[in-house]
């Protein structure tokens, strides 16, 4: 049986891989994306009783790809029909990262905004109103700290709700 897919996207160094490890547990396979030298990790994760295939995409800065990594990331979003896309954002640099969120939304992709590294944003004195962000973007938004696992239960809950709403 084919599992439904969840793709994790975002620019490099925002904690995508740690997020991936948190969601998948142990069994991950890393392989080259067909026809490229770019590596993509895939694993299985159980959320709300359903097992998903979770894909850690290469870092992407923009939906208009420049590098091979960005091309692969976009191909995964287009060709593999993920039922949910987690856009992992460095909460400290929200302003710089929202353009990609907007591009993914313009494309009409099923998105959840994950404001990661929330602890460091807080240390800088930043408070992000996730409820307000949800309204602005009209998608679910969660604050997380992937290194400690903070906020991941909320994220799982949101994924579960989101999947139900669209299936």
Partner 1 sequence: MLRDFPRKIGYDDPLEIYLSRLESLLLSDYKISRRSVSLLLLQEDKDMLSAVKEKEGQRAGEILSIIQEARAHYSQPLTYIISLRRQREASRISNAVTSVKEGHRPSLRDYFSRILMDPLIGGPILLAVLYYGLYKFVGGFGAGVLVDFLENTVFDKYINPFMINAVNSAIHFKLLQDLLVGEYGIITLGFRYAVAIILPIVATFFFAFAIVEDTGYLPRLAMLIDQLFKKIGLSGRAVIPLVLGFGCSTMATMVTRTLPTKRERIIATLLLSLAIPCSAQMGVILALLGDSPAGVIVWLGVIIFVFLIVGFLAAKIMPGELPTFYMEIPPLRLPQLSNILRKTASRLKWYFLEVLPLFIMASVFIWLGQITGIFNAVVNILKYPVSWIGLPDKAAVSFLFGFFRRDYGAAGLYDLKREGLLSGNQLVVACVTITLFLPCIAQLLMNMKERGLRMGIAMSVFILFFSFGVGYLVNIGLTLINIHL
Residues that bind partner 1 in the complex, under the rule CB under 8 A: 63-65, 71, 77-79, 81, 94-96, 98-99, 101-103, 105-110, 120, 123-130, 132-133, 136-138, 147, 166
β-bridge mates for residue 85, sequence order:
7, 111
| Sign of the dihedral defined by the CA atoms of residues 15, 163, 73, 98, in that order | negative
**Residue 66 C-beta: closest distance to partner 1, Å:** 10
Query: What's the chain's length in residues?
Result: 167
Contact 104, 85 (CB under 8 A): yes
**Residue 49 C-beta: closest distance to partner 1, Å:** 23
- Rank residues 2 and 79 by Cβ distance to partner 1 and give the closer one: 79
**Residue 6 C-beta: closest distance to partner 1, Å:** 15
**Residue 143 C-beta: closest distance to partner 1, Å:** 11
- Rank residues 49 and 98 by Cβ distance to partner 1 and give the closer one: 98
Contact 15, 63 (CB under 8 A): no
- Rank residues 134 and 160 by Cβ distance to partner 1 and give the closer one: 134
Q: d(Cα 139, Cα 134) in Å, to the nearest integer? A: 5
- Rank residues 31 and 166 by Cβ distance to partner 1 and give the closer one: 166
Q: Is 124 helix (H, G, I), strand (E, B) or coil?
A: coil
Contact 57, 68 (CB under 8 A): no
């Amino acid at each position: 049986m084919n599992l439904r897919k969840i793709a994790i996207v975002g620019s490099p160094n925002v904690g995508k891989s740690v997020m991936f490890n948190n969601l998948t547990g142990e069994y991950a396979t890393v392989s080259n994306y067909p026809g490229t030298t770019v590596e993509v990790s895939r694993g299985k994760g159980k959320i709300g009783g359903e097992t998903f295939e979770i894909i850690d995409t290469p870092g992407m800065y923009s939906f208009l790809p420049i590098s091979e990594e960005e091309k692969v990331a976009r191909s995964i979003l287009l060709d593999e029909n993920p039922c949910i896309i987690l856009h992992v954002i460095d909460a400290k640099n929200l302003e710089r990262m929202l353009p990609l969120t907007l591009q993914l939304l313009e494309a009409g992709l099923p998105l959840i905004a994950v404001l990661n590294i929330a602890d460091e944003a807080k240390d800088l004195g930043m408070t992000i109103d996730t409820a307000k962000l949800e309204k602005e973007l009209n998608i679910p938004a969660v604050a997380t700290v992937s290194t400690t696992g903070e906020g991941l239960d909320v994220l799982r809950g949101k994924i579960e709700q989101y999947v139900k709403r669209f299936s």
